Amino acid sequence: MANPYVNKVVFGGETVVDLTGDTATAADVAQGKTFHLASGAQATGTLVGVSAMTDAEVVAAADAGWTNTFTFWISTAECTAEDDMTWNQWLQSAYNTIGAVASSDTVLSGRQKIALNNVAVKPSDVIVATTYELISDGGGDN
């Protein structure tokens, strides 16, 4: 049976699209994201536990030279960062989708400090893949 999908396009003697060597499977692609198999057939990813970035976030990450991302949480907000990214770098990046800011030597979301184990994070701290909590200011830095 002939392949009903297009997996290779040759125009003017030049190959402009060639999916024939692609090896991605549904288990490799974030759940709900579409991609094409080597056959040319469209498929939907099933991989859970990853945060799929928007096209704009992917472009911003590539422009910034970042490539390896991970997910972390601030309270219940799911966030994305790069390996070895500091809070200061994250605050100035397209990944900061919650509008967090640096204040003095702490990082704030709204009027609350972002903290790990009840200790406020500093802009120079490296972000880790975990869940951070929000703590009230309380009048001083932790």
In the structure, what pLDDT confidence band is assigned to residue 56 with cuts at 50, 70 and 90?
A: confident
In the structure, what pLDDT confidence band is assigned to residue 29 with cuts at 50, 70 and 90?
A: confident
Question: Domain 55-135: which CATH class?
Answer: alpha beta
Domain boundaries, the chain: 8-44, 55-135
Residue 33 has pLDDT above 50, yes or no: yes
Residue pLDDT, tens place only, 72-110: 889 888 898 888 899 999 999 888 888 889 887 888 888
Q: What is the mean pLDDT of residues 116-135?
A: 90
In the prediction, which pLDDT does 67 show? 63
CB 61 within 8 A of CB 67: yes
Average pLDDT, the chain: 82
Cα angle 127, 33, 7; round to 5: 125
In the prediction, which pLDDT does 140 show? 42
Q: What is the pTM of this model?
A: 0.50
> What is the distance between the alpha carbons of residues 91 and 93, in angstroms, rounded to a whole number?
6
Report which listed range, 9-18, 53-62, 63-72, is most confident. Answer: 9-18
> What is the distance between the alpha carbons of residues 53 and 123, in angstroms, rounded to a whole number?
23
Residue 59 has pLDDT above 80, yes or no: no
In the prediction, which pLDDT does 142 show? 40
In the prediction, which pLDDT does 127 show? 93
CB 115 within 8 A of CB 133: yes
